[in-house]
């Protein structure tokens, strides 16, 4: 297949080469997308298997049904005259109907696939205790409401982290061996601690001791009416959690990438470029950054994956009203539908991250672009 | 063996490695000390004991060494017991089974701040008639403040700090402040010798009355106490072996199994390789923390169950790809061909020839992974999914966080476990970085 394309590409030079590249990237993206969808389906199914833990959750749900029905019957004046025996039978009948309605009487294998579909479409039924801010009990509404803040926090933090790290690493590789460089190398082990951990210290310093920034939350209470002031308030609340994300990873990523840049800047072609008298900016962009980009993106992808799940505690620590904080609340209230929902959402977010990075990878890695084989793993 | 000695010699030339190794050694010593002095059952009892174990420690007290750096000295607890010092008690027989049992507690108060609480505890032995007590407080300047009169059950506690009548008698201040305040300036402590007089009356032959006075301070021990009066030191000490065991076992368990699997995948190739890579792709999008949360909620919160799941999930994590690419190179080596030629079995080739080859590369990664797992335990605990019985650093952080320690200014409560986490994490990370440079020639000198 690729051989065929290569030959056609050679036959009609200029235009077809670009469309060929495009087609290859598109095909690559499509294949990756389909694989990822399959992986997400399997992942969510596993999550459902775990969540259903040997029918434990079913037991709980049947228990709730029974309790609700007996409560309804106790409040129903019309049933007062029934004998105990009649009442029992009537209650059992109602319970059976409700169980059949919820599908709890079907074998688990059948149900698990329905759960899978419901999970994938985030049709999670109603939460047991939690309410969305607008008062809805639908799991989907509750999760949807929280998705925005999480994306805002994580996207800001991750983008800031990526770009500052790349430029910082380039800067350091230029100043190899200076005091600054040594300090960063010495500080690299500090990235062993997760973001929420630095969050605690940032809160301690900037909120508790200095009082400059808020302890947590996303906007002031009550939120300002003026949209500009509200945005400003959100920014003020963003500073500390984003700072925690950046601080927790910047030294390690800078150190790691700087080392890569250093290794690559000792290559012969870089010396050649220097000898040709190219400006240092052009050397950095074209000869050092370019070949290291695929590696850097892979390592950043791994950072991202750990950051996503780390967000649960980060949001909890900062009281940020996102999915992570929701997870924590759902844990405390034992709200199963919401917990399963958060697992599904995180699986989606992770898959999306992997997918986006795959596309970027395809764009920057010449081996993919030129169809030189599958992605190096 | 000489190789090992060489590595050691090289390690010595990295100051960060030396620091890391010393930190790890100190942690191991602390862990052994903790296990030796506080057995498992004792640790669990102390941490879950409730009110009876920590009856005489103050609530939310700061560590005692804080007085060394403060100009205004905070009070330590003052505990006086007749059961330990019988000379405090004078018993006079009045005949007919009735006797007085008077107790005078005398203590010198030289601190600049007020105590946090004051309580009296009584234990009495009697058949039917309960002893009677009447108590008064004598300040250094000789004022006498009546506290209360009461009959005493087998064990009785009188929380002076919660007695509104006493509060009224000292001008509406809280009892623990009013009883110690200078009447001319109620914001100042009157220093000097205080006396608490307990006049007891027992009505039966052989009946006894013992009393103890606890003036709860604001500082306690090396580490302070939490909101449930527990000595934080217990959790700090016991958290050390737990953190080390969790971190090391998770790192060893996941890296060894991952490596073996990667070697098998490369050696057998074909469908084995295919399946392992597909599983890896699934595991990569499985969110580790939410899965752990579900396991913690639905199955078991025991730290060992969680450890098992962590290992299981990280076996197929990102590490397997790194090892796989290393083994792909190893597989092409001549000595593997030689082994194949003399008819070595698959298992022999994998375990005797392939795995040992990459172990040097594994060691730095393995050491650098330990802090991740140490922090993972803390992360789970902060989410309220810590081990239900064991005291750990993460649970301390969780307790501190749920009771708003930062907001209320109980900084020590957060800083102590955080400090230990950081030090442990840094110790392993620094050693790992140094080892990485020693084993990875490309990084040498960079």
- DSSP codes of every residue in B180-203: TEETTEEEEE--EEEEEEEEEEE-
Mutate: best of B289, B419, B441, partner A, most A CBs <10 A? B289
CB atoms near residue A146 (< 10 Å): 26
Q: Does A316 touch chain B (CB under 8 A)?
A: yes
- Selected residue with higher pLDDT from B214 and A329: B214
B158/B148 Cα distance (integer angstroms): 9
- Cβ <8 Å between A192 and B443: no
Residue A4: predicted pLDDT:
40
Q: How far apart are CA B420 and CA B392, in angstroms?
A: 11
Chain B residues 400-429 within an 8 A CB cutoff of chain A: 401, 406-407, 409, 411, 414-415, 418, 421-422, 425-426, 428-429
> What local confidence, expressed as pLDDT, does residue B33 receive?
94
| Cβ within 8 Å of B, A 169-188 | 176, 186, 188
Sheet order of strands, B89-95 included? B89-95, B98-109, B192-202, B132-138, B144-151
Stretch B375-387: mean pLDDT, rounded?
Answer: 84
- Poorest-confidence range of A171-180, A327-336, B120-129, B426-435? A327-336
Task: Give the per-residue pLDDT at A372.
Answer: 45
Give yes or no for A266 touching B (CB within 8 A): no
Instruction: Give A 7-66 residues with CB within 8 A of chain B.
Output: 35-36, 39-40, 42-43, 46-47, 50-51, 53, 56-57
CA–CA gap between residue A206 and residue A204 (Å, rounded): 6
Pick A316's closest partner by Cβ from B294, B382, B422: B382
* C-beta atoms of A343 and B291 within 8 A: yes
Which residue in A46, A334, A350 is closest to B297 by CB distance? A334
- Give B 332-371 residues with CB within 8 A of chain A: 368, 371
pLDDT (tens place) for every residue of chain A, 377 residues total: 344 444 444 444 444 556 667 777 788 788 888 888 888 888 888 877 877 765 666 776 777 788 888 888 877 777 777 777 888 888 888 888 888 877 777 777 777 787 788 778 877 666 666 777 777 777 777 888 888 888 888 888 888 988 898 888 888 888 877 888 888 888 888 888 888 889 888 888 888 888 888 888 887 777 788 888 888 888 888 899 999 999 988 888 888 888 878 877 777 888 888 888 888 788 888 888 887 777 777 777 777 777 777 788 888 888 888 888 888 888 777 777 777 788 888 888 888 888 887 777 777 776 655 554 444 43
The rounded mean pLDDT for chain B is 86
| Interface touch A51/B372, C-beta < 8 Å | no
Cβ–Cβ under 8 Å, residues A336 and A127 = no
Q: Is B275 on the interface with A (CB under 8 A)?
A: no
A361 CB contacts (<8 Å, ≥6 apart)?
A294, A297, A298, A368, A375
Do the chains contact at A47 and B286, CB–CB below 8 Å? Answer: yes
Q: What are phi and psi of B237, to 5 degrees?
A: -65, -50
A215 vs B287: CB contact, 8 Å cut-off?
Answer: no
CA of B219 to nearest chain A CA: how many angstroms apart? Answer: 21
Q: Does A129 touch chain B (CB under 8 A)?
A: no
Report the SS3 class of residue A186: helix
Among A51, A347, A354, whose Cβ lies nearest the Cβ of B287? A347
Identify whether the C-beta of residue A157 lies closer than 8 Å to the C-beta of residue A318: no
Q: Residue B125 in 3-state DSSP?
A: strand
Task: Decide if B443 and A259 are in contact by the 8 Å CB cutoff.
Answer: yes
- pLDDT for position B23: 92
ipTM, two decimals = 0.75
Q: Which of A45, A61, A189 should we substitute to test contact with B (largest number of B Cβ atoms within 10 Å)?
A: A189
Phi-psi region of B48 (alpha: psi -120 to 50; beta: other; left: phi over 0): alpha
Is B293–A331 a contact, with Cβ atoms under 8 angstroms apart? yes
pLDDT at B124 over 70: yes
Residue B194: predicted pLDDT: 92
A304 touches chain B (CB under 8 A): no
pTM: 0.81
Q: Model confidence at B30, in pLDDT bands (50, 70, 90)?
A: very high
DSSP B73: P
C-beta atoms of A316 and B383 within 8 A: yes
| Cβ within 8 Å, pair A46-B286 | yes
The pLDDT confidence band at residue B51, using thresholds 50, 70 and 90, is low
* Average pLDDT estimate for B79-95: 87
Predicted local distance difference test score (pLDDT) of residue B318: 74
CB contact under 8 A, B293 and A191: no
Give the Cα separation of B250 and B376 in Å (integer).
10
Higher-confidence residue of A61 and B412: namely B412
A276 Cα to chain B: minimum distance (Å): 26
Cβ atoms within 10 Å, residue A130: 18
pLDDT for B24? 93
Give chain A positions within 8 Å (CB) of B414.
200, 204
**Percentage of the residues of chain B whose pLDDT score is greater than 90:** 15
* Mean local confidence (pLDDT), B77-99: 87
- Using CA atoms, how far residue B198 sits from A209, B56, B155, B178, in Å, is 45, 19, 16, 19
User: Would you state the pLDDT for residue A9?
Assistant: 41
């Amino acid at each position: 297949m690729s051989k065929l394309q290569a030959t056609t590409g050679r036959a009609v030079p200029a235009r077809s080469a670009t469309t060929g590249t495009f087609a290859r990237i598109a095909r690559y993206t499509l294949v990756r997308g389909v694989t990822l969808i399959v992986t997400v389906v399997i992942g969510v199914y596993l999550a459902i298997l775990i969540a259903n833990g040997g029918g434990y959750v079913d037991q709980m749900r049947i228990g709730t049904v029974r309790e609700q029905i007996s409560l309804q019957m106790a409040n129903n004046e019309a049933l007062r005259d029934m004998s105990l025996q009649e009442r029992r039978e009537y209650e059992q009948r109602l319970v059976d109907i409700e169980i059949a309605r919820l599908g709890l009487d079907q074998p688990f294998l059948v149900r698990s696939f329905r759960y899978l579909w419901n999970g994938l479409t985030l049709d999670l039924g109603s939460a047991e205790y939690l309410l969305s801010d607008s008062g809805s009990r639908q799991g989907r509404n509750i999760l949807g409401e929280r998705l925005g803040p999480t994306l805002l926090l994580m996207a800001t933090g991750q983008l800031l982290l990526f770009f500052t790290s790349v430029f910082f690493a380039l800067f350091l590789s230029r100043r190899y061996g200076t005091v600054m460089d040594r300090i960063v190398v010495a500080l690299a082990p500090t990235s062993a601690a997760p973001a929420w951990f630095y969050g605690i210290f940032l809160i301690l310093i900037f909120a508790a001791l200095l009082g400059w920034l808020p302890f947590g939350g996303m906007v002031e209470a009550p939120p300002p009416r003026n949209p500009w002031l509200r945005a400003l308030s959100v920014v003020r609340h963003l500073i500390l959690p984003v700072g925690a994300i950046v601080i927790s990873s910047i030294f390690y990523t800078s150190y790691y990438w700087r080392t890569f840049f250093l290794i690559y800047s000792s290559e012969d072609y870089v010396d050649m470029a220097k000898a040709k008298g190219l400006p240092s900016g052009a050397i950095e962009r074209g000869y050092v950054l370019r070949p290291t980009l695929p590696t850097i993106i892979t390592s950043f992808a791994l950072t991202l994956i750990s950051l996503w799940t780390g967000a649960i505690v980060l949001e909890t620590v900062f009281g940020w009203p996102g999915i992570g904080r929701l997870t924590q609340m759902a844990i405390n209230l034992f709200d199963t539908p919401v917990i399963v929902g958060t697992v599904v959402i995180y699986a989606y977010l992770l898959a999306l991250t992997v997918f986006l990075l795959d596309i970027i990878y395809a764009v920057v890695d010449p081996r993919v672009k030129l169809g030189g084989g599958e992605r190096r793993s | 063996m000489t190789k090992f000695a060489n590595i050691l010699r090289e390690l010595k030339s990295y100051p960060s490695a030396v620091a890391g190794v010393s930190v790890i050694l100190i942690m191991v010593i602390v862990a052994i000390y903790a296990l030796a002095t506080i057995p498992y059952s004792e640790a669990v009892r102390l941490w879950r004991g409730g009110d009876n174990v920590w009856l005489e420690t103050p609530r939310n007290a700061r560590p005692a060494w804080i007085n060394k750096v403060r100009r205004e000295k905070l009070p330590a607890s003052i505990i006086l017991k007749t059961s330990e010092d019988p000379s405090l008690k004078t018993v006079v027989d009045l005949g007919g089974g009735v006797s007085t049992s008077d107790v005078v507690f005398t203590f010198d108060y030289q601190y600049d701040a007020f105590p946090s609480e004051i309580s009296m505890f009584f234990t009495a032995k009697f058949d039917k008639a309960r002893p009677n007590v009447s108590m008064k407080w004598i300040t250094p300047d000789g004022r006498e403040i009546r506290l209360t009169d009461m009959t005493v059950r087998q064990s009785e506690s009188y929380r002076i700090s919660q007695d509104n009548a006493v509060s009224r008698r000292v001008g509406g201040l809280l009892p623990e402040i009013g009883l110690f305040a200078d009447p001319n300036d109620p914001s100042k402590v009157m220093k000097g010798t205080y006396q608490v007089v307990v006049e007891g009356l027992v009505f039966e032959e052989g009946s006894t009355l013992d009393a103890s006075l606890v003036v709860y301070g604001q500082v306690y021990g090396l580490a302070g106490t939490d909101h449930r009066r527990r000595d934080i030191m217990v959790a700090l000490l016991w958290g050390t072996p737990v953190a080390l065991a969790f971190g090391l076992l998770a790192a060893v368990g996941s890296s060894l199994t991952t490596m073996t699997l990667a070697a098998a995948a490369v050696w057998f190739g074909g469908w084995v390789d295919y399946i392992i890579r597909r599983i890896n792709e699934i595991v990569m999008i499985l969110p580790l923390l939410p899965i752990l949360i579900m396991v913690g909620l639905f199955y078991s919160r025991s730290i060992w169950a969680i450890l098992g799941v962590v290992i299981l999930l990280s076996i197929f994590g990102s590490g397997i790809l790194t090892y796989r690419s290393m083994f792909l190179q190893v597989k092409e080596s001549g000595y593997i061909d030689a082994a194949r030629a003399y008819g070595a079995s698959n298992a022999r080739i994998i375990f005797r020839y392939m795995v040992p080859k990459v172990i040097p590369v594994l060691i730095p990664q393995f050491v650098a992974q330990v802090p991740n797992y140490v922090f993972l335990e803390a992360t789970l605990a902060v989410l309220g999914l810590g081990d239900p019985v064991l005291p750990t650093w993460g649970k301390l952080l969780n307790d501190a966080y749920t009771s708003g320690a930062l907001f209320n200014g109980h900084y020590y409560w957060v800083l102590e476990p955080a400090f230990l986490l950081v030090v442990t994490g840094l110790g392993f990370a620094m050693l790992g970085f140094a080892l990485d440079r020693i084993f990875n020639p490309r990084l040498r000198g960079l």
